[in-house]
Amino acid sequence: MSHRMEIGRPERSHDDQCKVLESSVAHLVFLLSRSIKKRSLPRASTAPLPLLPPPPPLWSLATSLSIAQVAAASIAMAVQPSMETQAPGNSSPPKDGRSAEEKAVEDWLPINASRNAKWWYSAFHNVTAMVGAGVLGLPYAMSELGWGAGIAVLVLSWVITLYTLWQMVEMHEMVPGRRFDRYHELGQYAFGEKLGLWIVVPQQLIVEVGVNIVYMVTGGTSLKKFHDTVCEDCKSIKLTYFIMIFASVHFVLSQLPNFNSISGVSLAAAVMSLSYSTIAWGASVDKGKLEDVDYSLRATTTPGKVFGFLGALGTVAFAYAGHNVVLEIQATIPSTPEKPSKKPMWRGVVVAYIVVAVCYFPVSLVGYWAFGNRVDSDILITLSRPKWLIALANLMVVIHVIGSYQIYAMPVFDMIETVLVKRLKFPPGLTLRLIARTVYVAFTMFIAITFPFFDGLLSFFGGFAFAPTTYFLPCIMWLAIYKPKRFGLSWFTNWICIVLGVLLMVLAPIGGLRNIILNAKTYKFYQ
């Protein structure tokens, strides 16, 4: 009797206690199974829960607590392998949800294949991407702009593009644990999966394919100039054949799998760009200013001056084209939370932009100072002595644009192979790479042979595609993602870049298209 008063409950038989224990354990198993299902399934089930007997009173659980704990521990140990198998974080596939096969495909693609680059890789990759055919046309652009407008456009373009390039580097891994390895991936994050793809991919393809076409023309033209300089008495060979010779090199080099595999080619190209730029302005100084040099605008009519001005804007825009491959270059640099890739990448970008300034400004200003409005669209054509130096410079241009072609072709290869492997389910391998890349090189060669108008191509592609991807698209992404304070410094800076970039995109292609039409009137195709 005293025992019943102490505990506060009636005496129960052994059978009653067993029934209470069974009910407690059954309820505990039910709770554990629900917890396991919630952890193992991606979404909670919408099916109605089964009805169970109500849980036993608290005093009954207290009586059988020690036995229930032992049972719960046994159940947990029994279901642990199942939890480890079903939980996404502990399963054999990668933590991002991709299967082993999908990860293998990603690692095979050119952009993701290697992530062990150093900061100086980004330096010479960016120099190779930036300094190229554009620098040779800058004195010609100066002759269309004049001293004041020409210097202003050059300086403003250098500052704006350095700022937008910094934005791209910062946004590469702004989301913890994720890297935007491709330009269109960043666009999809900023604008949405479908809209971002349609905004970025067409423009990026126009830029990269356009650059490859222009570099086909540049390589063939410089190769022809080299031949004509070293062998004046030789029979003249058509430009078409030199473009084909230049393309034959790319049929081989295009089989290199990724960015790091072309690092040697890119380094040689970067050295060549600095070398032939120095030769261009050095030879101009040696030649001296023409006696009757004229610094007035090249065109004599008002429409000619207007169209020439617009075309020159496109030529300058073409000279700052590295943004289209900057994320792909940064993707090759290793990154950890303690040492993010943006630090070595930015160091390389700063070095690259110093080299850009050393190349662009002397060539532009000295070339225009020496020849005025009589400078050719390629300043090396204007220079005629000393012959050995001009021949060497043209050969350097050929080597440089070989590397530049590969830098701009690699993201295109990545897009093509992604579609073939992921969408069309072609097996990845050497055969796929050989066929796809060979067809692409042949396509750019064919277009270059068909439209070898160097200055017109610079202006048209520079304004139509380079202006968006270089001057204002990074700013729009920055505003969409970071949402800076309205009317603040960042907000104003980005909107100024957007307005100038849109004007450049609208106006510059007009002049370039006019030059193409004028050249096409006197050009005989495939002759």
Q: What is the CATH number of the domain that holds 207?
A: 1.20.1740.10
Tokens of residue 181, six digits: 């390895």
Are 473 and 504 a contacting pair, CB within 8 Å? no
Cα gap 448→2, rounded to integer Å: 106
Q: Which of helix, strand or coil describes residue 115? A: coil
What's the Cα-to-Cα distance from 385 to each of 112, 288, 368, 444, rounded to whole Å? 46, 12, 17, 33
Q: Is residue 337 domain-shared with residue 442, that is, in the same domain?
A: yes
Tokens of residue 176, six digits: 């913890």
Cα gap 407→352, rounded to integer Å: 15
Q: Is residue 210 domain-shared with residue 353, that is, in the same domain?
A: yes
Cα gap 107→102, rounded to integer Å: 9
Q: Is residue 30 domain-shared with residue 170, that is, in the same domain?
A: no
Element (H, E) at 387: helix 387-418
Q: Is residue 204 domain-shared with residue 292, that is, in the same domain?
A: yes
In a domain, 24, yes or no: yes
In a domain, 281, yes or no: yes
In a domain, 53, yes or no: no
Are 341 and 335 a contacting pair, CB within 8 Å? yes
Domain with 268, as residue range(s), is 111-522
Q: What's the structural domain count of the chain? A: 2
Cα gap 195→220, rounded to integer Å: 38
In a domain, 219, yes or no: yes
Given the structure tokens 């207290």, which residue do they identify? 62
Our measurement of the distance from residue 39's CA atom to the centroid of its chain's CA atoms, rounded to an integer in Å, reads 38
- The per-residue pLDDT string of the chain (527 residues; one tens digit each, 9 = 90 and over) reads 444 444 444 444 545 554 544 555 455 445 544 544 444 444 433 344 334 344 444 334 334 434 434 443 443 333 333 333 333 333 334 445 566 766 777 767 777 667 777 888 889 888 988 887 678 889 999 999 999 999 999 999 999 999 999 999 999 989 888 889 889 899 999 999 899 999 999 888 888 898 899 889 889 988 998 998 888 888 888 889 999 999 999 999 999 988 888 888 999 999 999 998 998 898 888 888 888 888 888 888 888 888 888 888 877 877 887 788 899 899 889 888 888 899 999 999 999 999 999 999 999 999 999 998 888 877 877 887 778 888 898 899 899 999 999 999 999 999 999 899 888 888 888 899 999 999 999 999 999 998 787 556 666 766 677 788 888 899 999 999 999 999 999 999 999 999 998 988 888 788 777 777 777 677 666 65
Q: Is residue 76 domain-shared with residue 124, that is, in the same domain?
A: no
Q: What is the model's pLDDT at position 5?
A: 42
pTM over 0.85: no
In a domain, 515, yes or no: yes
Q: Is residue 268 domain-shared with residue 346, that is, in the same domain?
A: yes
Q: Is residue 135 domain-shared with residue 68, that is, in the same domain?
A: no
Angle at 476 between CA 473 and CA 481, to 5 degrees: 125
In a domain, 311, yes or no: yes
Tokens of residue 261, six digits: 């595999």
Q: What is the model's pLDDT at position 91?
A: 35
In a domain, 52, yes or no: no
Q: Is residue 170 domain-shared with residue 72, that is, in the same domain?
A: no
Are 441 and 250 a contacting pair, CB within 8 Å? yes
Angle at 328 between CA 327 and CA 333, to 5 degrees: 90
- Provide the angle, in degrees to the nearest 10, between the axes of the packed helices 183-191 and 193-230: 150
Q: Is residue 243 domain-shared with residue 143, that is, in the same domain?
A: yes
Q: Is residue 289 domain-shared with residue 403, that is, in the same domain?
A: yes
> Quick one: which of 460, 458, 293, 275 has its CA closest to 380?
275
Are 297 and 308 a contacting pair, CB within 8 Å? yes
Q: Is residue 338 domain-shared with residue 435, that is, in the same domain?
A: yes
> Quick one: which of 20, 35, 18 has its CA closest to 76?
35
In a domain, 232, yes or no: yes
Q: Is residue 189 domain-shared with residue 295, that is, in the same domain?
A: yes
Q: What is the model's pLDDT at position 458?
A: 61
Q: Provide the sign of the torsion angle of the four alpha carbons 165, 205, 484, 506, taken in this order.
A: positive
Q: How many residues does the chain have?
A: 527
Given the structure tokens 């007997």, which residue do they identify? 53
